[in-house]
Amino acid sequence: MSVNMRFGPYGGRYVPETVIGALDELTDAYERYRDDPDFRSELGVLLGHYVGRPTPLYRARRLEEAWGLEDGLWFKREDLCHTGAHKINNALGQVLLARRMGKQRIIAETGAGQHGVATATPSALVGLGCRAYMGRTDMQRLRLNVIRMRMLGAEVTPVDSGSGTLKDATSEAIRDWVTNVDTTHYIIGSAVGPAPYPEIVAEFQSVIGIEARAQMLEETGGLPGTVVACVGGGSNAIGTFRGFIDDAGVALVGVEAGGEGPAGRHGASLALGRPGVLHGSYSYLLQDDDGQVAEAHSVSAGLDYPGVGPEHSYLRDIGRVRYVDATDEAALSAFLECSRREGLIPALETSHALAYVRDRAAELRGGGPVLVCLSGRGDKDVDQAGAALGIDASA
Amino acid sequence: MPDTGAARLERAFREAGRPLFVPYVMGGYPDLEASRRHVQLLARHADIIELGIPFSDPLADGPTIQAAGQAALDAGIRPSDVLAIADDLRGGPPVVVMTYFNTVIAHGAAEFMAEAASHGVAGLIIPDLPVDEAADVRAAARAAGVALIALAAPTTDDARMQQIGAEAEGFVYLVAVTGVTGGEMSMDDRLRALAERARRHIPVPVVVGFGVRTPEQAAQIGQIADGVVIASEIIRRIGDAPDAGAADAAVDAFGAGIAEALAR
């Protein structure tokens, strides 16, 4: 079976000619190894014993009670993955692929630092050199992940162009790849970028939805009424949704970064953008009238991105997934509420999905169990969230 | 009916009598008037002018062109401002515009092509639009009489070279280095073999660029290709000049030096 290059009109390979050969090579390698028993077995063993899969399905009874969700609120616990988020599902798969392709060097972009850490980790495991590009602004707000990457032996290169966030880091990683394409595999961290990346990332992340569906059936005897995930580039969301996309009765909701609210800066590409090309694919994009890409804004670095994966654009247009947004303020309060009521400190990205569930609980009530992809834990966010919430370590 | 862009470009190659000099000017850098003057000064020495429209996320460009483009954007330069610069060159060397794909489709490819054609633009280079994604845009360009200039790279295999050659109009832009703009190319057997391979598969003229800095390098490229593009080095000289007059003089002198080297 060939690899999806487009999702409806979205996707494609809008990149410099120099890397087309490498995209072909990656497509061939992925087609060859995707169903290869040795590859699947190596990946499966590491997902089980190294990453900690399957991740648990957890019923969040205290939030359920507080928010009046009598049909049940369930978390798919990707926060329990090694390195603290779902990102490693993709990074591990691609590192194993890169090794089979004979690449000597791994590069990645990173926003919140989770993908950078998730890439540095299996790179260390198999002995491949790793360089992560990270915006200067993000390095400041997520310094703990910078230290983790460096401890794992990765080089972290600050990116000063633009707003010093994920968009700029991605552009710089692509420039490195264009220059070192013969020796280097670029591990893109979300379901974005030129084909075949969106399909590869979605497939490696689909383990989330496949596990969650089976676990829901086992725990509740049925499927959830609504599945909710946060969307920046959209990798945890697409991975979760892929488990339920054929279940017509399951409502799927993606929550984008509402940032400062309707009048301010935000990261809601699907709600407020229009289709365009950024980082190699055609998809919804925040841009001005001339096609200059706008700077996004979110309290969470992982959602601070003006584009979105092409499959989400398609799912939006056909109406299979509803895309909504949650503001910085709503996400921060949900972050604290989940920490206090469940003893789970969620990532700020994930907190957007929780904020939606809390603020729309009245609509969700009576619609069956709600499943949230708890995509990552918030350890990385304690500096920033603490400052915003007035919580510090002073005596 | 006026000549198509492709016909004007092909005539430029026929009539030059030497390898072509294709200098690049970033529209709106360091300001709009200065870029107009630089285009005029370079037109005295050049055979084709490459005019850059600044873009927020130029993936194929190194730090020099990125910074120049960002400065132009910060000053509020818009694509229509840059296209209007081409008006000054009617009757002079043909103008090819370089911009990224999102600029072209922001208002629709057909609209963009029509606007470019109305300013006399002969060709369009879109570095993030590889040949297999280009069918619709090529059709829109042809309809407007604008040549869509394809790029080929050291990593382009023979089959793709043929594909690029089959669709090519005007000329093909051969990227000398595996990398972004503004690095440093070196004339070696690998580049000679690349140019030879490109010319074998591509029926239109082949122009080499990326990392060309000196008259000596330009002359070496002239031996293996039909022309040479120089971009970042010109921007660097403009940026290094102490004032606008010095920048104008530097651009003029640099252009003269390259033209002389290519004529030898």
Q: Does A265 score more than 70 pLDDT?
A: yes
Give Cα B66 distance to the centre of its chain: 15
Query: What is the 3 state secondary structure string of chain A?
Result: CCCCCEECCEECCCCCHHHHHHHHHHHHHHHHHCCCHHHHHHHHHHHHHHHCCCCCEEECHHHHHHHCCCCCEEEEEHHHCCCCECHHHHHHHHHHHHHHCCCCEEEEEECCCHHHHHHHHHHHHHCCEEEEEEEHHHHHHCHHHHHHHHHCCCEEEEECCCCCCHHHHHHHHHHHHHHCCCCEEECCCCCCCCCCHHHHHHHHHHHHHHHHHHHHHHHHCCCCCEEEEECCCCHHHHHHHCCCCCCCCCEEEEEEEEECCCCCCCCCHHHHCEEEEECCEEEEECECCCCCECCCCCCCHHHCCCECCHHHHHHHHCCCEEEEEEEHHHHHHHHHHHHHHHCCCECHHHHHHHHHHHHCHHHHCCCCCEEEEECEECHHHHHHHHHHHCCCCCC
Query: How many angstroms away from the CA of A176 is the closest CA of chain B?
Result: 8
Of B15, B31, B47, B50, which residue is the catalytic one? Answer: B50
Kindly indicate the confidence band of residue A1, based on its pLDDT and cuts at 50, 70 and 90: low
Kindly indicate the confidence band of residue A164, based on its pLDDT and cuts at 50, 70 and 90: confident
Q: Is A167 in the active site?
A: no
**B102–A179 CB contact, under 8 Å:** no
Q: Does A395 score more than 90 pLDDT?
A: no
Find the mean pLDDT for residues A202-216: 98
Domains, in order of start, for chain B: 5-263 (3.20.20.70)
**A181–B178 CB contact, under 8 Å:** yes
Find the mean pLDDT for residues A179-192: 96
CA dihedral A276, A280, A283, A284 (to 10 degrees): -60
Tell me which residue in A19, A161, A280 faces B66 most closely, judged by beta carbons.
A161
CA separation for the pair A222, B244 (Å, rounded):
73
pLDDT tens digits, residue range A27-67? 999 999 999 999 999 999 999 999 999 999 999 999 999 99
**A14–B57 CB contact, under 8 Å:** no
Q: What is the pLDDT of residue A161?
A: 86
Of the two residues A1 and B29, the one the predictor is more confident about is B29
B135 touches chain A (CB under 8 A): no
The ranges of chain B with pLDDT < 70 are: 1-2
Q: What is the pLDDT of residue B184?
A: 87
Tell me which residue in A18, A180, A278 faces B102 most closely, judged by beta carbons.
A278
Chain B CB contacts of A173 under 8 Å are: none
Which residues does A contribute to its contact with B (CB < 8 Å)? 12-22, 161-162, 167, 171, 174-175, 178-182, 276-280, 285, 287, 289-293
Its pTM stands at: 0.96
**A13–B133 CB contact, under 8 Å:** yes
Query: How many angstroms away from the CA of B54 is the closest CA of chain A?
Result: 9
CA separation for the pair B57, A279 (Å, rounded):
8
Q: What is the pLDDT of residue B1?
A: 52
pLDDT > 70 fraction of chain A, expressed in percent and rounded: 100
Q: Is B189 in the active site?
A: no
**A287–B106 CB contact, under 8 Å:** yes
Nearest of A221, A216, A191, A209 to residue A373 by alpha carbon: A209
**A280–B128 CB contact, under 8 Å:** yes
**A171–B106 CB contact, under 8 Å:** no
Q: Does A21 score more than 90 pLDDT?
A: yes
Residue A154 makes CB contacts below 8 A (sequence gap 6+) with A116, A119, A120, A123, A124, A130, A131, A132
Number of CB pairs, chain A paired with chain B, less than 8 A apart: 111
Of A76, A78, A103, A109, which residue is the catalytic one? Answer: A109
In A, minimum Cα distance to B177 occurs at: A179
Query: How many angstroms away from the CA of B80 is the closest CA of chain A?
Result: 9
> Quick check: A153 and A132 in contact, CB under 8 A?
no
Find the mean pLDDT for residues A246-270: 95
Query: How many angstroms away from the CA of A182 is the closest CA of chain B?
Result: 9
Find the mean pLDDT for residues A128-135: 97
Q: What is the pLDDT of residue A162?
A: 81
Of B10, B61, B226, B233, which residue is the catalytic one? Answer: B61
pLDDT tens digits, residue range B139-157? 999 999 999 999 999 999 9
